[in-house]
Amino acid sequence: MIAGVEDALLPVLPSKPASTNPTNEVAKRLTGRDYISWSALSTFRTCPLKYKFRYVDGLREESVSSALIFGTGIHTAVEQHYQALLSGDPKPDLDALLFAYRSAWLPHEPDAIQFGSTETRASLDDLAARMLTAFLASPSASVQGRVLGVEEEIRGMLVEGVPDLYGRVDLLTEDADTLVVTDIKTSRGKWSQEQVEDSGEQLLLYSHLASEISPGKKIATRFLVLTKTKEPVVEEHVREVEPGNVKRTLAGVERVWRAIESGVFYPAPSTMNCASCGYRAACRAWAG
C-alpha cells in the first residue's frame, strides 16, 4: 500500500558520516571547496575557461542572465509547495508562491541583469504567475507516496580518485517499492525523449548516492518540467535507473576531474555558450 503524504514526519533521512575521501583535499586546494558539484562538472564540460574563472579564480560574473534568475525563482516557489507537504503545513497559495519566486531577483542589481530581446521583468513576472497557476492545478502538485526531502543535501564518493560529489536534490519521495529522485526544470517547450536522455546524468549520479537511503528499493529519476510557453504545461518524465548508464556517467565524471586536476583550462567559444556568459570581458583579456 502506498503511504500518504501525511506519513512524512521529520527526520526521515539518516545523518551522513564524515567523508574520508583523500581527494577532497586536492579539490580544496584547487577551488576552496572539498567537493565537486554537478554544476562545476557541467560548467567545465561547457567551457573549461569559464570553469576556471568561476571555481578556481572565484571571479564575480559581470552580468547574470534573466533566464537563470527566473528559473531559480520558479524552483524556489515549487520547492516551497513541497516543503509544506513535507512539514504538514497548509499548502501555500499562488500569492505565497509568487512571493517566493520574487525573492530570487532581490540579490541582483537590476543593471547587471541580461534580459532577452523580448523580455522585461514585468513580462517574466506575468509568465511566472501563469506557470505557477498551471503547477498548482496539475497532478504534480500532489505526491505519490511520501516526501523524504526537499532541497535535500546529498554527498558522497562516486569514484576513487575523484572528490565527493555534493548536491541538493530538488525533491526526494518514496512509495512502497520505489525511491524517486526529482529534478525541477523550466523549459522553453515540452521535452523530447532525446532531451530527457541527454539531461539525465545529474540525476543518475544523485540516484547513485541516494541508493543508500532506502536499501532494497528500486530507484527512479523524474524530471518535473514547467514550460515557459504561452499556455504553460507541467510534464513528468520518469525513468528507472539503468546500471549501465550510471557506469558510463561515472566514467565521464572521472575524465572531467582528471582534466580539472591537471589544469587543462581553455576557452570553448560558441554562440550558445558565450551569449549568456558572465565572463566575456575576462575571456577577451585571457592570454593563455
- On the 0-12 / 13-18 / 19+ scale of CB atoms within 10 A, 31 is buried
Nearest approach in angstroms of CB 64 to ligand SF4 is: 13
* 81 contributes a contact to ligand SF4 by CB under 6 A: no
* 43 contributes a contact to ligand SF4 by CB under 6 A: no
Contact by Cβ (8 Å): 136, 92: no
Contact by Cβ (8 Å): 253, 205: yes
Residue from 40, 49, 136, 253 touching ligand SF4 (CB under 6 A): that is 49
Nearest approach in angstroms of CB 197 to ligand SF4 is: 24
Q: How many chain residues are in contact with ligand SF4, going by CB under 6 A?
A: 12
* 276 contributes a contact to ligand SF4 by CB under 6 A: no
Q: Which residues, other chains included, contact 180 with Cβ-Cβ below 8 Å and sequence gap of 6+? A: 145, 171, 172, 173, 174, 219, 220, 221, 222, 238
**Helix, strand or coil for residue 41?**
helix
* 283 contributes a contact to ligand SF4 by CB under 6 A: yes
Q: Which residues, other chains included, contact 80 with Cβ-Cβ below 8 Å and sequence gap of 6+? A: 92, 96, 97, 100
Nearest approach in angstroms of CB 43 to ligand SF4 is: 9
Nearest approach in angstroms of CB 278 to ligand SF4 is: 8
Q: Which residues, other chains included, contact 46 with Cβ-Cβ below 8 Å and sequence gap of 6+? A: 268, 273
C-alpha cell at 9: 514526519
Nearest approach in angstroms of CB 265 to ligand SF4 is: 10
Question: What count of other Cβ atoms lies within 10 Å of the Cβ of residue 99?
Answer: 13
Choice between 49 and 77, CB closer to ligand SF4? 49
Q: How far apart are CA 91 and CA 81, in angstroms?
A: 6
* 40 contributes a contact to ligand SF4 by CB under 6 A: no
* Of residues 216-275, those binding ligand SF4 (CB under 6 A): 267-269, 273-274
Dihedral angle, C-alpha 158, 210, 100, 143, nearest 10 °: 150
Per DSSP bridges, beta strands 113-114 and 64-65 are parallel
Residue from 8, 40, 41, 47 touching ligand SF4 (CB under 6 A): that is 47
Stretch that binds ligand SF4, among 46-54, 203-211, 235-243, 249-257 (CB under 6 A): 46-54
Window 171-210: contact mask with ligand SF4 (x via CB under 6 A): ----------------------------------------
Residue from 35, 50, 98, 148 touching ligand SF4 (CB under 6 A): that is 50
* 56 contributes a contact to ligand SF4 by CB under 6 A: no
Which spans of this chain sit near ligand SF4 (rule: CB under 6 A)?
47, 49-50, 267-269, 273-274, 277, 279-280, 283
